[in-house]
Chain A
Amino acid sequence: AQSVTQLGSHVSVSEGALVLLRCNYSSSVPPYLFWYVQYPNQGLQLLLKYTTGATLVKGINGFEAEFKKSETSFHLTKPSAHMSDAAEYFCAVSESPGYSTLTFGKGTMLLVSP
């Protein structure tokens, strides 16, 4: 069975600082991994995804994530935080083959201070 662990329910950074949101997964087969962002009172927006190929994945808004199979991790980073990055971030895993039932982590709220 697949599962996702996001370390830290809240992460606080200063504007301009490095953003690091941690995600570890458990999967019995090669996983597909996703990061979604949710702004207040909105739906989920895809930031980036790893399916196959290059392990360093670039997404929207300057975010990127690296798939590390040996560490079963898919951490999300951004070199310099903006105030507009404040939101809830969800890591999700989907196994193949079979139906694409996404298993979400519990989410990490990113707080950005001036």
Chain B
Amino acid sequence: DTEVTQTPKHLVMGMTNKKSLKCEQHMGHRAMYWYKQKAKKPPELMFVYSYEKLSINESVPSRFSPECPNSSLLNLHLHALQPEDSALYLCASSQATGGRQTQYFGPGTRLLVL
């Protein structure tokens, strides 16, 4: 089973709202990732967690706050977002970090910021 699940599928929020995106995997993977994908563009890496510790933060604005409560769960807390933050947010996981590891992606959360 190579399933990564994400909730919700769709989210509409105002610029003053606080919301969270959730990602879950039960493959025993120890690395988890958040990506942002704008329309007709490739995914852009935001954060990498390795063994529940944040290991890469690609200079993402502080209005995005990741959290890894345990090895199976990854959250992305959203606060005071801007309309340009509207995008598809993808979660991925891999057994570990390292070049040869395959990343498995979830279906994404489509976010619209009004």
Contacts and interface: CB of A to CB of B under 8 A. Distances in A.
Interface of A: 31-32, 34, 36, 41-46, 49, 51-52, 90, 94-102, 104-107
Query: Interface of chain A, helix or strand or loop or mixed?
Result: loop
Given A42-B108, A43-B106, A43-B107, A100 B41 contact: no
A44 B90 contact: yes
B101 to A, nearest CB: 5
B99 A98 contact: yes
B107 A42 contact: yes
Contacts of A34: 102
B110 A41 contact: yes
Nearest to A106: B42
Contacts of A36: 105
Interface in B39-78: 40-43, 45, 48, 50, 55-56
B7 interface: no
A48 to B, nearest CB: 10
Nearest to A30: B99
Residue from B41, B90, B103 whose CB has the most chain A CB atoms within 10 Å: B103
The size class of the interface chain B forms with chain A is 20 to 34
Contacts of A107: 40-42
Interface in B86-106: 90, 92, 94, 97-106
Interface of B: 4, 6, 31, 40-43, 45, 48, 50, 55-56, 90, 92, 94, 97-108, 110
Given A43-B90, A43-B105, A100 B42 contact: no
A102 B107 contact: no
Contact of A102 (B41, B45, B50, B106): B45
Residue from A31, A43, A90, A104 whose CB has the most chain B CB atoms within 10 Å: A43
A44 B55 contact: no
A99 B56 contact: yes
